[in-house]
Structure 1
Amino acid sequence: MATLFSKLVTRADIEGCLAIPACSLGPLPSQQGHSMNMRVHDDEGQEWTFPCFIQRNENVEPFLSVGWIEFARQRNLRIDDKVSIHEEIIKIQDTATFIRIQVERKLRVFGADIWATVKN
């Protein structure tokens, strides 16, 4: 499993959309405003479809604006939770590539910080 992208969640991510640098996900259309859907699976096997748009900003490289509000609300995401997008290659009958989304929250247990998976 390869990690394609990982970041700490911000208020803008929770209230609007998740911003992912376009270069994180391999070759994407470079044209601003281009839209597509990203199909991901969560840790419980549920499939999610996130609408995505290529955006540009004067200060940064092109990025993918990912509509994931329903997912963020269902998981009750908080600022500084960690979201990661992984690519998994699975061989069942044919080889297939799946994109998996994982959300973790930092917890303090017996004086040590640990990351625990955030589930429904």
Structure 2
Amino acid sequence: MAVFKKALTDTDVKRRFSFPDGCLPALPPFRGCHAIELQVKDETGILWNFACTIRSGMTPKLVIVSGWIQFARSKELQIGDVVLFYREDDRVTGAHYKIEVKKGGRYSYWGTLQD
């Protein structure tokens, strides 16, 4: 199931990825911690390890603080590229996460998300 799609900003491409509001329930529980390790598989089958944290402030923000820049560089991400994030639940092994990048107006074999 697709959790979200997001057009990348300058900060997303160069520094860190900020999740759209409302994504927290789709991620593994933080269980009182401020950070979690999130494993996400890309469309080529590569498993990426992202460290996610909740930034405090007036409006808490969920961000990927490590692992993202390596991903962005390997995919040659640009401002305006679209990232699609999926969660698939398995009764035996739990939740699995996938990430897809839309460049040049094309989606990968994982399917499309209606605009």
Q: Could you tell me the TM-score, scaled by structure 2's length?
A: 0.76
Percent of aligned positions with the same letter in both sequences? Answer: 28
State the AA in 2 paired with 1:100: K
The one-letter code sitting in structure 2 at the alignment partner of 1:15 is K
Alignment root-mean-square deviation, CA: 2.4
For these two proteins, the number of residue pairs brought into alignment is 104
CA distance, structure 2, for counterparts of residue 57 and residue 16 of structure 1? 19
Task: Give the structure 2 partner of residue 89 of structure 1.
Answer: 89
Once residues 94 and 18 of structure 2 are traced to their aligned partners in structure 1, the CA distance between those partners, rounded to angstroms, is 26
Match of 2:13, SS state, is helix
Q: Which runs of 5+ in 1 are unaligned?
A: 108-113
SS, match of residue 23 in structure 1 = coil
- TM-score, normalisation: structure 1: 0.73
Matched to 1:24, the amino acid is C
TM-aligned CA distance change 1:25 to 1:84, over 3 Å: farther
Structure ranking higher in strand proportion: 1
Of 94-103 and 66-75, the range deviating more from structure 2: 94-103
1:115 alignment counterpart = 106
Aligned-pair distance for 1:90?
4.8
Secondary structure at the aligned position of 2:60 is classed as strand
Aligned amino acid, residue 97 of structure 1:
A
What CA distance in whole angstroms lies between the structure 1 residues aligned with 2:102 and 2:30? 30
Consecutive unaligned residues of structure 2, counting only runs of 5 or more, are 109-115
Decide whether aligned partners of structure 1 residues 47 and 79 sit closer, same or farther in structure 2, where only a CA change above 3 A counts: same
Equivalent in the alignment of 1:25: 24
Matched with 2:63 is 65
Give the aligned residue type for 1:17: R
What is the CA-CA distance between 1:6 and the residue it aligns to? Answer: 1.5
Asked if structure 1 preserves the Cα contact closer than 8 Å seen for 2:30 and 2:36, the reply is no
Instruction: Decide which of 95, 99, 102 is 1:101's aligned counterpart.
Output: 99
Q: Which runs of 4+ in 1 moved over 6 A?
A: none
